[in-house]
Structures are given as structure tokens and as C-alpha cells.
């Protein structure tokens, strides 16, 4: 494991000591060993980082043109590729992501930066025809939103940072990033790489810490925007904290995404994809298809096929070649997942496969688990488990499927499996979710926006739409 400077933060272009001696441990979920000891940033530390970001915004960085921002992003993308193995190892050590997946996520992170490099050349205002006298010209000017506070989750640390860092650099804003408590190391390394790429001091800052640190950032009056990905409860707290200066917010929150399988679907293809959707990254994906809705005629057959895929997964050491699924990311998450499974069984669900700890002596492992007979009003169907647990519910008609799919507070993603395009088109229109995928789970690309409805949040990540979240529009009137 590459050496990481701890317990320090990264502020104004350098690693710095925190104001207090408070620290916390980052623990490897596969071995239960301490990976690093990190600083808990307090009020003075957050102030220092925000001040550095503001000074950078008011300095030469504020006048940097799109060409230079594009070049910086491309250089940074190249550095991510050059250091992909190190970045992958850091995320696997802290979160337990199988190393092959971590390597893929590191490569994808470089691709994200390339996308944002392209976006940096698309910022533009407009000249607007108006009804005032002919000597008055009206136009709009698009400017950086300002100091952005980014609060990111632990499930895929590196790409989640790119979703915030990329648009900040593309638009000419500045960043104070608070990574998840249990996954801070790749963020600290990325801050170093930003300096190596030529990003000016103070443009990118990283403060480590706990929920209290995130709260300080969310309520800070020197922060113009919060970009948050994480739980609903934390998102709600951020909304309340933002009221002090009415910050702009992007909230990408939880999901309880349904995989809806009609009787006419290609069952082999659907079963493999349904299993992958919920068991990849140990189910710790916001768009995971954690609810399986299956039409009566094929229910038993289809559940058996999904269970076969679950049993075939190789669960174990995330650093070992061939591992399909590692541990969940922390002891707290492990206990939460076990509690959900126990509660579902008490509510009358039946265990088809899994439910145990995958036979490991150490580490926070959970077997790929499939539960049938899950009532849509139950805690398992309504709550975000964020683990490798699939709850199965029957349906009879298309209307039943729509009612079940929309029968939660969430609305992030959804998956429809059918060979009938009339059925597919009807479901696309009627499902209340920010993303609907038909006969695929592969629908993620930097050019396509991601966002939710209801308790899954608001605002967009990725796509051309994301850039608007990081820009302020100024109306300009000019007399000849």
C-alpha cells in the first residue's frame, strides 16, 4: 500500500495539520485492520479550507479561460491513468471493492475527467431579443457558481469525487471536498495529483472528518453550493443547514430501484442482469435493483435462475483475482444488512438463498441473499438496505407492476424486462423515476444525466445538464 500522509488535511495546495488532535481510524472491512489514522476537521479547519477556496476564486484562477481549464483536466485525467493502480488499491483497502472493479472504476474516473474537459468549452451565454428601445441590448453571462462544498459517499469513492471535481474545474469554481469518513485516502491522493497537474493552490481542498465536519461545511456561509451524494437523512440535514445563505444544492440521494420482469422477457438475459444489478459492489450502489417484481407466470422459474447466479458468485478477499464480491464497507453497514434480513424473515419473507456471513473468519461479509414473498409495505421493500439483499414480490398485471414500482418514497432508477415494446413504452412513461432502463442495466455514460424524483433527490449529475448546477446566470443590459 502506498504511504499516505496522515493525520492531515489538504488545504491551499499542501498537507496541513488539523487544529485539534482529534482523529479517527479507517478500517479495512476485509481484514478488520486499521488502514490509516485521519484527522477530524473542526470549525477552524473548515474555515481555513473555505478561505483558501475563496482566495483562489478571487485570484488568477477566476480569470482562467476554458482552454486552460480543459488542458488542466486532460493532464489530470492522464495522471489518474498513470496512478490508477495506486488509487484502486486505496479504495479496495478502505471499502472492500474487489480489486478488478476498483481498477475499472479508476479507469472510468479518468474518462469522466476527459468528459468534463470537453464540457469546459461549452459554457456560453446568449443574446436575447427584448421589447425595450432598440438601443438596449440584453444578454446573459454564465459565471462560476463560486465555492463548492462536495460531500461524497463511501461506496465508490474515486468516481464520486470526479462527479464533483470535474464540473468544478470545468466551470472555474473552487472546491472543498469532505469525503466519507471510511473512504478518504483516494480523495487526499487526488488532491495531490491536482497540484501535479497544475491546478493552482486553493482550488481543490480536502477536509477529512465525520458527520460534524460535513455539517460545518453544509452550513458555512462562505460556501455557495453543496453537491451531495448519500443518504436521505443526511441530505435532509444538509437542506436545513443550507438555509443560512440559501446555498444552491445538488442532492443525489438513496434509491429502492425495482427490476420489473414480465412473463415475455428473455429470462436468461434478465436473470444474469438482475443478479449483477444487486450483487455488484456487494449491493452498495445507489441505483442497485434491490426490488425484484416478477409476473406470476414466471415467478418461481425466474427466482430460481437468479438464485443460481447468486450461489455461483465467489465471495472473499477483494484483493484476490477472481473475487466477484467482497465485504460490505464497514461493521455498521454489516450490522444494518443483517438486521434487514432478520426483520424480513420476521415479516414473513422466505429465504431462497444466502442470509449468512459467507464463511469468512474475519471481515464484514454477507452472502448474496434472495428473499421471496416480500410485501411492498414491508421494511425490506421500503428501506434502502445498501447490501447484497434482493427482495422479490409477485405481480399479475401491468397496472399492478406500475403500482408496486411507484409504491415507495424513492424514485432514482428502474429496470424493465420485456420483449413487448408497447409494454416497455408504457412502463417508461408511467414509472416515477429519474432513470428507466429497458432490457439492460448498462445505462451509465458521462453524457447522460443522472438524478432522481421524490426522496431520491433533485438536481442532475453528469450530462450537459450538470454544468448548469455549477454556473450562475447573470442578465446584462447594455445601451449603445
CA dist., res. 420 & res. 264, Å (int): 7
CA dist., res. 410 & res. 434, Å (int): 10
Strand positions, DSSP E, 112-211: 126-128, 136-144, 147-151, 174-178, 204-206
The residues, ordered by sequence, that sit 6+ positions from 442 with a Cβ below 8 Å of its Cβ are none
H-state helical runs in 172-315: 185-197, 211-219, 232-241, 267-279, 299-312
252 classed as catalytic: yes
One-letter-per-residue 3-state SS of 199-230: CCCCCEEECCCCHHHHHHHHHCCCCCEEEEEC
Phi, psi of 6 (to 5 degrees): -145, 155
What are the DSSP calls for 438-457, one per residue? ES-S----TTS-B--SGGGE
286 classed as catalytic: yes
CA dist., res. 260 & res. 405, Å (int): 8
Handedness of CA 186, 187, 188, 190 (dihedral sign): positive
Phi, psi of 181 (to 5 degrees): -55, -40
CA dist., res. 201 & res. 282, Å (int): 37
Q: Closest by alpha carbon to 390, among 306, 266, 463, 462? A: 306
Cell numbers for 386 = 445498501
The residues, ordered by sequence, that sit 6+ positions from 334 with a Cβ below 8 Å of its Cβ are 29, 327, 328, 364, 365, 366
CA dist., res. 83 & res. 89, Å (int): 10
Q: Which of 252, 384, 461, 469 is catalytic?
A: 252
Q: Which of 94, 181, 194, 286 is catalytic?
A: 286
On whether the CB atoms of residues 348 and 375 are closer than 8 A, the answer is: yes
Active site residues: 252, 286
Amino acid at each position: 500500500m502506498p504511504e499516505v500522509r496522515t493525520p492531515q488535511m489538504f488545504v491551499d495546495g499542501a498537507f496541513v495539520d488539523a487544529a485539534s488532535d482529534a482523529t479517527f481510524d479507517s478500517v479495512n472491512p476485509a481484514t478488520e485492520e486499521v488502514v490509516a489514522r485521519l484527522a477530524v476537521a473542526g470549525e477552524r479547519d473548515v474555515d481555513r479550507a473555505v478561505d483558501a477556496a475563496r482566495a483562489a476564486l478571487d485570484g488568477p484562477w477566476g480569470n482562467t479561460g476554458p482552454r486552460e481549464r480543459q488542458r488542466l483536466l486532460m493532464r489530470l485525467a492522464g495522471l489518474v491513468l498513470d496512478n490508477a493502480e495506486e488509487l484502486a488499491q486505496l479504495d479496495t483497502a478502505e471499502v472492500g471493492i474487489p480489486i478488478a472493479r476498483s481498477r475499472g472504476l479508476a479507469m472510468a474516473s479518468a474518462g469522466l475527467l476527459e468528459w468534463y474537459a470537453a464540457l469546459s468549452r461549452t459554457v456560453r451565454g446568449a443574446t436575447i431579443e427584448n421589447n425595450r428601445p432598440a438601443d438596449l441590448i440584453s444578454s446573459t453571462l454564465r459565471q462560476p457558481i463560486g465555492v463548492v462544498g462536495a460531500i461524497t459517499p463511501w461506496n465508490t469513492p474515486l468516481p464520486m469525487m470526479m462527479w464533483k471535481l470535474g464540473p468544478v474545474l470545468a466551470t472555474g469554481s473552487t472546491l472543498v471536498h469532505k469525503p466519507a469518513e471510511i473512504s478518504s485516502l483516494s480523495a487526499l491522493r487526488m488532491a495531490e495529483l491536482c497540484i501535479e497537474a497544475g491546478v493552482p493552490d486553493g482550488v481543490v481542498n480536502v477536509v477529512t472528518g465525520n458527520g460534524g465536519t460535513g455539517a460545518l461545511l453544509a452550513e458555512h456561509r462562505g460556501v455557495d453550493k453543496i453537491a451531495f451524494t448519500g443518504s436521505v437523512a443526511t441530505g435532509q440535514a444538509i437542506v436545513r443547514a443550507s438555509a443560512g445563505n440559501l446555498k444552491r444544492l445538488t442532492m443525489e440521494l438513496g434509491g429502492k430501484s425495482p427490476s420489473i420482469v414480465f412473463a415475455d422477457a428473455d429470462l436468461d438475459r434478465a436473470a444474469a442482469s438482475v443478479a449483477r444489478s444487486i450483487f455488484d459492489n456487494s449491493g452498495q450502489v445507489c441505483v442497485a435493483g434491490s426490488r425484484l417484481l416478477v409476473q406470476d407466470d414466471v415467478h418461481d422459474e425466474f427466482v430460481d435462475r437468479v438464485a443460481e447466479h447468486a450461489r455461483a458468485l465467489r465471495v472473499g478477499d477483494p484483493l484476490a483475482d477472481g473475487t466477484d464480491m467482497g465485504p460490505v464497507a464497514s461493521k455498521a453497514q454489516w450490522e444494518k444488512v443483517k438486521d434487514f434480513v432478520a426483520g424480513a424473515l420476521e415479516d414473513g419473507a422466505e429465504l431462497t438463498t444466502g442470509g449468512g456471513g459467507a464463511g469468512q473468519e474475519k471481515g464484514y461479509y454477507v452472502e448474496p441473499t434472495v428473499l421471496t414473498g416480500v410485501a411492498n409495505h414491508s421494511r425490506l421493500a421500503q428501506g434502502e438496505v445498501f447490501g447484497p439483499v434482493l427482495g422479490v414480490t409477485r405481480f399479475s398485471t401491468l397496472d399492478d407492476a406500475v403500482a408496486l414500482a411507484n409504491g415507495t418514497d424513492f424514485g432514482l432508477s428502474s429496470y424493465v424486462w420485456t420483449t413487448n415494446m408497447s409494454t416497455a413504452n408504457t412502463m417508461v412513461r408511467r414509472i416515477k423515476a429519474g432513470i428507466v432502463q429497458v432490457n439492460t442495466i448498462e445505462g451509465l455514460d458521462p453524457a447522460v444525466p443522472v438524478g432522481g424524483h421524490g426522496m431520491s433527490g433533485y438536481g442532475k449529475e453528469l450530462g450537459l445538464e450538470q454544468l448548469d448546477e455549477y454556473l450562475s446566470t447573470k442578465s446584462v443590459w447594455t445601451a449603445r
